[in-house]
Amino acid sequence: MRNILAVGSLAFDSISTPAGKAERVLGGSLNFFSISASFFNPLQLVGVVGEDFPAEHLKFLSSRGIDIAGVSTMPGKTFHWTGEYGQDLNEAITLSTQLNVFEHFNPQLPEKYRDADYLFLGNIAPELQMRVLEQVRKPKLIAMDSMNFWITGCRDQLLKVLPRIDLLTINEGEAKLLAGESNVILAAEKVLAMGPKALVVKRGEYGAFLFFQNEIFSAPAVPIRKVIDPTGAGDTFAGGMMGYLASHGVGLERDALRKAVLTGAVMASYTVEDFSFRRLQKLERHEIDLRLEELQRTIRV
Amino acid sequence: MRNILAVGSLAFDSISTPAGKAERVLGGSLNFFSISASFFNPLQLVGVVGEDFPAEHLKFLSSRGIDIAGVSTMPGKTFHWTGEYGQDLNEAITLSTQLNVFEHFNPQLPEKYRDADYLFLGNIAPELQMRVLEQVRKPKLIAMDSMNFWITGCRDQLLKVLPRIDLLTINEGEAKLLAGESNVILAAEKVLAMGPKALVVKRGEYGAFLFFQNEIFSAPAVPIRKVIDPTGAGDTFAGGMMGYLASHGVGLERDALRKAVLTGAVMASYTVEDFSFRRLQKLERHEIDLRLEELQRTIRV
């Protein structure tokens, strides 16, 4: 079994959506990513939490085959994001970002992590993503996520990381912003020219595009009748993808990537059905398989 | 060979899009629908034009296997629509609608049209759609389109037509408006409960959903690098669908409907590449087959 090494944020989220509110629930890219991927494959996490972070949650992660040796507890408070969604559930509005202990996060990999086969650089500063990249020896596949904040604020550092990764997962608005291009296909082509060998453009309820070797895979989203909270959908998506690839021991291979994208879409579809990762915590493997089969049926001709 | 009978508008369009402008070019649902369908199957048209409508265009339609015996020329001017698109190319803003001769349009079917096998009720007043419906004998398949204007203004008449048709094609915003429901899946289910046996929800650059017999087909859009003018895309889509079904002599059958939706998506993708139906006029059959094969590859797993 190959390990997935993941770095990202462990956080509290306060969220308001048309369906309700959730105050100070657990979130952060690393939480969503790792819980999602853990349905398929073991993980190793690198992250930081404050003294207010619940110990039982770290225990919960451990119980799911997630190695938390690389998660350090620092004096101070845990990262806290506050955001809301309007009728357009595809886009979050950030109301406040309290970095807290995350402000001085300097990811240090335990020695045993340096041989990871699959590396996921969650949505953190590109400079920190680079530091993690420099500590791993020879991963089979490197994927990363980013967001508007880094695309606008740390563009130069981001452009240094992109040529060193295999797979970039960003959403449609981020791809257009990064490329400076309003057509999504042209934007994707420009982003690929920045270095990543494959690109997943997430489009919320409209599915996702996979761009790889001059081919486009147009992945549908799972048709969802009631979206409660889209927070974490993107990281859950990435977790499903990486979990699929790692558990099959494959890297950048066309057919496997396409199935990985569908797996990501299925995992994301469960996340949005409740606040935080509540739905994922109750999720069972047979439900994943069922929805994956249903999703494949929606594109069968 | 079975005939497609189609009713709708023949018009002049004045259009402004981020890519440019076109003044008084030919348009109207019946033009887009029939030119698109004529790649696959003969048609019979019912419509009305004013004295200013170019005779050579009617000749062009004839040259494509389109029977124009049901198109009457009335004293006065042809219907003229003026609209524009902003950065969101998925939604047109109507600036003016000069109905002209269309105001007194009373569709009369030539006797030979009454045995049509495939009937397409283009986007006109539901009352007129009903009048056409009452003049046909026993069509194998009845499809129809509608729009916001009729959904809000003639809801009662529209609700009388819906139980009598097989296939409704509307866009996502129209489906939500008709159902009074913001979730597209729930909206589709409510619309199906109004009577049509199958429903296609067009989502512009995001593709289309086909709802039929408790199954959802998630059709991708053709990835387009440069959209010039989306006007007529929906009617072209319907033309490709009906053309496919009629040329194969099939009605509401799952696999055929799915392929018909993909054919519609391909035809629409060509329409948006230029103003009016200029691109369709230059289009060759092998280009359709090529793009259809490419589109199918974007969803193959």
Q: pLDDT tens for residues B176-234?
A: 999 999 999 999 999 999 999 999 999 999 999 999 999 999 999 999 999 999 999 99
Give me the phi and psi of B239, to 5 degrees please: -65, -40
The candidate with the shortest Cα–Cα distance to A9, out of A129, A115, A95, A91, is: A129
User: Nearest-CA distance from B297 to chain A in Å?
Assistant: 8
Residue with tokens 């009452």: B134
Entry pTM: 0.95
Residue A90: which pLDDT band, with cuts at 50, 70 and 90? Answer: confident
User: Nearest-CA distance from B187 to chain A in Å?
Assistant: 9
* pLDDT tens column, A203-217: 999 999 999 999 999
CB contact under 8 A, A218 and B220: yes
* pLDDT tens column, A34-60: 999 999 999 999 999 999 999 999 999
* pLDDT tens column, A142-164: 999 999 999 999 999 999 999 99
User: Nearest-CA distance from A156 to chain B in Å?
Assistant: 27
Of A87, A186, A216, which is closest to B298 when you measure between CB atoms? A216
Residue with tokens 């974007």: B298
Mean pLDDT of B100-109: 94
Chain B residues touching residue A220 (CB < 8 angstroms): 218, 220, 299
Is residue A214 less than 8 Å (CB to CB) from chain B?
no
CA atoms within 13 A on the CB side of A79: 22
* CA B221/CA B218 separation, integer angstroms: 10
CB contact under 8 A, A259 and B217: no
Element (H, E) at A163: none
Is residue A190 less than 8 Å (CB to CB) from chain B?
no
Mean pLDDT of A93-121: 95
What is the chain B residue with the closest CA to A181?
B225
Exposed, middle or buried, B138 (CB in 10 Å: 0-12/13-18/19+)?
exposed
CB atoms within 10 A of CB B67: 18
Residue A230 has pLDDT above 80, yes or no: yes
φ/ψ region of A208 (left if φ > 0, alpha if ψ in -120 to 50, else beta) reads beta
Question: Which of B17, B206, B273 is most worth mutating to test chain A (most A CB atoms within 10 A of its CB)?
Answer: B206
Residue B245: which pLDDT band, with cuts at 50, 70 and 90? Answer: very high
Indicate the pairing of strand B208-212 with strand B215-219: antiparallel
* CA A248/CA A246 separation, integer angstroms: 5
- Grouping H, G, I as helix, E, B as strand and the rest as coil, residue A153 is helix
* pLDDT tens column, B119-156: 999 999 999 999 999 999 999 999 999 999 999 999 99
Which residues fall within 8 angstroms of residue A290, CB to CB, at 6 or more apart?
none
Helix (DSSP H) and strand (DSSP E) numbers for chain A: 11, 13
* pLDDT tens column, A64-73: 999 999 999 9
Residue A109: which pLDDT band, with cuts at 50, 70 and 90? Answer: very high
* pLDDT tens column, B256-300: 999 999 999 999 999 999 999 999 999 999 999 999 999 999 999
Q: pLDDT value at position B90?
A: 80
Is residue A301 less than 8 Å (CB to CB) from chain B?
yes
Structure-token pair, residue B141: 């398949």
Is residue B223 less than 8 Å (CB to CB) from chain A?
yes
Q: pLDDT value at position A1?
A: 59
Is residue B2 less than 8 Å (CB to CB) from chain A?
no
Q: What percent of chain B has pLDDT over 70?
A: 100
CB contact under 8 A, A223 and B216: yes
Residue A125: which pLDDT band, with cuts at 50, 70 and 90? Answer: very high
What is the chain A residue with the closest CA to B292?
A301
CB contact under 8 A, B185 and A225: yes
CB contact under 8 A, A217 and B299: yes
Residue B1: which pLDDT band, with cuts at 50, 70 and 90? Answer: low
Q: pLDDT value at position B88?
A: 83
What is the chain A residue with the closest CA to B88?
A182
Q: Are B269 and B280 in contact (CB under 8 A)?
A: no
CB contact under 8 A, B296 and A301: yes
Residue A13 has pLDDT above 80, yes or no: yes
Structure-token pair, residue B40: 């696959």
Residue A196 has pLDDT above 90, yes or no: yes
Q: Are A149 and A170 in contact (CB under 8 A)?
A: no
Mean pLDDT of B13-33: 96
Q: pLDDT value at position B65?
A: 95
Sheet holding A20-27, edge to edge: A20-27, A11-17, A80-84, A93-98
ipTM over 0.95: no
Q: pLDDT value at position A88?
A: 83
Residue B87: which pLDDT band, with cuts at 50, 70 and 90? Answer: confident
Is residue A91 less than 8 Å (CB to CB) from chain B?
no
Is residue B225 less than 8 Å (CB to CB) from chain A?
yes
Residue B2 has pLDDT above 90, yes or no: no
